[in-house]
Structure 1
Amino acid sequence: MVRIVKVSIFLIPIFLIFGYWASSTPVLITRLNGYEISPFAVLAEADLEGAILKGADLHGVVLNKANLKNSMLADSDLSGATLTGADLSGADLSDADLSDADLFNANLEGANLKGANLRGAYLRGVNLRGALMTDSDMTSANLTGADIYGAILTNAVMPDGKIHG
């Protein structure tokens, strides 16, 4: 459920009531297909479980410790986004752009990352157990300490990605 609180930053009014954004008061809006949220908007600790954000422009958005379990983020632009400690377990991120995103210690267990662009992403300590990563591009990604047990990496590209420990 999307939750909102009063803030001083303006976000797209179609998505949210002027001057409000995700965090503590429930609202009914959960379909945000194709909408743009202002770059570098802070949605830290937002509860967006099951939200439909297909094709949304979320580049540069801060979603630290956000709950995005089972969310639909296919074809979304999350390039340069900060998702430190976010819970994306079971989320659909197929064909999403996560280039240069910071996913330090994020939970992507069972997530669908098929065809995702993870070029230059910071995936240190990320949980990718059972994730579908077929055809994903992890060129220059840092996967130090990532847990990839049971992940499906068929045709995944990572010629200079780093996996240690």
Structure 2
Amino acid sequence: MSPFAVLAEADFEGAILKGVDLHGVVLNKANLKNSMLADSDLSGATLTGADLSGADLSDADLSDADLFNANLEGANLKGANLRGAYLRGVNLRGALMTDSDMTSANLTGADIYGAILTNAVMPDGKIHG
């Protein structure tokens, strides 16, 4: 049995989960739209196809998380740790990503149109201001 919780397709729309430890949790196709996840630990979590549009993930730890095809449109990722995250095919349109760290993240096919990337550390390690 896996030591991590499996909450696939769970509905947490608008939930307040600030500072929660969700390390390694499986939230595939979960609805986290407009949820508050600031300061939460989502490191190593699996969020494939999850809807995080409008979510507050400021200062959250998403290192090594799998966000394949997730929707983060308009999400607040200010100061988020996305080191080594799998962001392939992610919708980041209009996301606030100021001061986020995406070192070694995979952004292949990600849609970053209109995203605010001020002082974000990009996958190649360069800071773009």
TM-score w.r.t. the length of structure 1 is 0.74
Tell me which of 118, 121, 138 is aligned to 2:82: 118
Q: Which has the larger radius of gyration?
A: 1
Question: How many aligned residue pairs are there?
Answer: 129
Distance verdict in 2 for CA 1:162–1:104, change over 3 Å:
farther
1:162 CA displacement: 11
1:160 CA displacement: 2.0
Distance verdict in 2 for CA 1:126–1:144, change over 3 Å:
same
1:40 CA displacement: 1.4
Show CA shifts across 1:28-58 (max 9, x none).
Answer: xxxxxxxxx9951000000000000000000
1:133 CA displacement: 0.1
Unmatched 5+ residue regions in structure 2? Answer: none
Show CA shifts across 1:89-133 (max 9, x none).
Answer: 000000000000000000000000000000000000000000000
Distance 1:80 1:128 in 2: 19
Say whether the 8 Å CA contact 1:145–1:163 is kept in structure 2.
Answer: no
1:158 CA displacement: 1.6
Distance verdict in 2 for CA 1:164–1:136, change over 3 Å:
closer
- State the match for 2:96 in structure 1: 132
Output the aligned Cα RMSD.
Answer: 3.2
Between the aligned residues of both structures, percent identity stands at 98
Unmatched 5+ residue regions in structure 1? Answer: 1-36
TM-score w.r.t. the length of structure 2 is 0.94
Tell me which of 42, 55, 75 is aligned to 1:91: 55
Say whether the 8 Å CA contact 1:142–1:161 is kept in structure 2.
Answer: no
Larger relative contact order, structure 1 or 2 (CA cutoff 8 Å, min sep 6): 2
